Amino acid sequence: MALLAPGGAQAAGTLDQQQTVDNRSVDAGGPFGASYAQIFTAGLTGSLDQVDVLLAKVAGTTAAFTVQIQAVSGGVPSGSVLGTTTVSAASVPDSSTGAGWITIPIGPVAVTAGTQYAIVLLFAPDPAA
């Protein structure tokens, strides 16, 4: 996840924090799998400008998916969307070649150090399926 600090103190794409553990499930009910959320605590105050996620798709998947940054309430995504973007299936590697890290520009979304937010991936059924 990358942050841009107020006043331009950091360049766009400055790394705030990372998690490299691969904790995905494979084909959990859809062309990409189920929808997922990852809760994080912002380490810096500023503007979130991108997230990187590890993904793979079932070969032949054509449906785009949505990535949102949501506020967190009670330890779960609140549904209050702070930023959103759509990602084409073409940018995601096929599961036959393995998962790959995808950089997703989003926002900028204002975040405050010490506050929890959620990265939410929403997958619609693939019309090609």
Digits of tens for pLDDT over the chain (129 positions)?
Answer: 443 333 333 445 565 655 554 444 333 344 444 578 888 899 889 999 998 888 888 888 888 888 999 999 998 889 899 999 999 988 888 888 888 888 999 989 999 999 999 998 887 765 555
Q: Please identify which residue in the block is written with the tokens 């032949």.
A: 60
**How far apart (Å, rounded) are the C-alpha atoms in residues 1 and 18?**
7
The conformational region for residue 46 under phi > 0 = left, psi -120 to 50 = alpha, else beta, is left
CA-CA distances (angstroms) from residue 70 to 30, 47, 123? 23, 14, 16
Q: Is the pTM of this model over 0.95?
A: no
In the three-class reduction of DSSP (H, G, I as helix; E, B as strand; rest coil), residue 48 is classed as strand
Query: What is the pLDDT at residue 24?
Result: 42
